[in-house]
């Protein structure tokens, strides 16, 4: 998609990464639909982006834990040509190990909710024909389960697999299906965590990488390439070696 087409729907637009991605698409002159829980809290961002970049921007309600995908897309009144899911919730691994309700929220927030919405978006793009893009922000945590965050990681692994299957299904169409794996990002979700600077991106870096990747039709994107190296090594470690590691 060297020539980007809109409108662009950003699901999870309240997040730092979602806001940055919306801003980057607006810079390219594309109209935006900002979706998130508590849409009224998005109205200030919508007005700011519209003013800065002279593009139409509107905010709509979307709680991935409580949304019917068909009803949601019907309510938009138009089919977005680019759909980005930036929804994510890390939760607490220790709590998730003993609290099934908390574990379910983590799993549904990172996998079931986003996957169902992106699946519906894909169906509508196929029905309308032409170019489009489905973009899911997953995580390097999904590349191999680790004791420190395996509930979150397993959900992101599910999203990664879903996007891979969707990409295979749509291979003969003009619809790009992209999986984005940011690695560490300095956001509200990671506030207070000791993040290693060489491995940590800023939200704006994720945004510029995503928009550039749409233009070049990249399908799997590690925001910082060093993460591909790290996760390739970790993913290929023998199980008996991996089990001895503290990661």
What six digits make up the tokens of 103? 């574990």
CA 157, chain centre distance (Å): 13
pLDDT attached to residue 195: 81
DSSP E strand stretches across the chain: 8-11, 32-36, 57-61, 82-85, 132-137, 175-181, 184-185, 200-201, 220-222
* CA dist list (Å): 117 to 51, 97, 108, 133, 210: 29, 27, 12, 13, 19
Q: Which of 4-8, 93-97, 195-199, 213-217 has the lowest mean pLDDT?
A: 195-199
Which residues are known catalytic residues?
152
- Convert the pLDDT of each residue in 144-164 to its tens digit: 999 999 999 999 999 999 999
* Cβ-defined contacts of 49-56 (< 8 Å, 24+): 49/22, 49/23, 50/26, 52/23, 52/26, 53/23, 53/26, 53/27, 53/29, 55/26, 55/29, 55/30, 55/31, 56/7, 56/31, 56/32
For the chain, which residues make up each domain, given as ranges? 8-242
CB neighbours of 73 closer than 8 A, spacing ≥ 6? 79, 120, 121, 124
> pTM for the complete prediction?
0.94
- Domain 8-242 class, CATH top level: alpha beta
CA torsion sign for 21, 23, 26, 32 is: positive
Residue 1's pLDDT band, with cuts at 50, 70 and 90, is low
Write down the pLDDT at residue 200: 92
Inform me whether the pLDDT recorded for 38 exceeds 70: yes
Mean pLDDT score across all residues of the chain: 95
Q: Which of 29, 18, 32, 35 is nearest to 53 (CA)?
A: 29
**How far is residue 191's CA from residue 197's CA, in Å, rounded to a whole number?**
14
Report pLDDT for 196. 80
Q: Please provide residue 225's backbone torsions phi and psi, each rounded to the nearest 5 degrees.
A: -55, -25
Strand partners, 176: 133
**In degrees, to the nearest 5, what angle opens at C-alpha 216 toward C-alphas 52 and 4?**
40
DSSP 224: S
Q: Residue 146 CB: number of other CB atoms within 10 A?
A: 16
For 25, the token pair is 């698409």
190 pLDDT higher than 80 = no
Q: In whole angstroms, give the CA distance from residue 242 to residue 244.
A: 5
DSSP state of 129: -
């Amino acid at each position: 998609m060297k020539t980007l087409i809109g409108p662009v729907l950003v699901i999870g637009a309240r997040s730092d990464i979602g806001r940055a991605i919306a801003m980057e698409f607006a810079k390219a002159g594309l109209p935006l639909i900002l979706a998130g829980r508590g849409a009224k809290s998005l109205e200030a961002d919508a007005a700011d982006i519209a003013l800065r970049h002279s593009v139409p921007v509107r905010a709509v309600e979307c709680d991935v834990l409580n949304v019917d995908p068909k009803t949601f897309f019907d309510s938009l009144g138009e089919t977005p040509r680019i759909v980005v899911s930036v929804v994510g919730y890390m939760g607490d691994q220790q709590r998730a190990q003993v609290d099934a309700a908390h574990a379910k929220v983590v799993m549904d927030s990172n996998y079931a909710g986003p996957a169902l919405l992106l699946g519906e978006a894909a169906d509508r793009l196929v029905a309308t024909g032409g170019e489009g893009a489905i973009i899911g922000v997953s995580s390097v945590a999904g590349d191999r389960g680790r004791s420190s965050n395996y509930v979150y990681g397993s959900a992101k692994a599910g999203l990664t697999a879903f996007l891979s299957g969707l990409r295979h299904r749509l291979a003969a169409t003009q619809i790009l299906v992209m999986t984005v794996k940011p690695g560490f990002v300095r956001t509200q979700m990671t506030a207070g965590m000791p993040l290693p600077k060489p491995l940590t991106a800023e939200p704006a870096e994720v945004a510029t990488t995503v928009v550039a990747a749409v233009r070049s039709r990249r399908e799997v994107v590690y925001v910082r390439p060093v993460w591909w190296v790290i996760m390739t090594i970790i993913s290929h470690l023998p199980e008996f070696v991996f089990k001895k590691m503290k990661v």
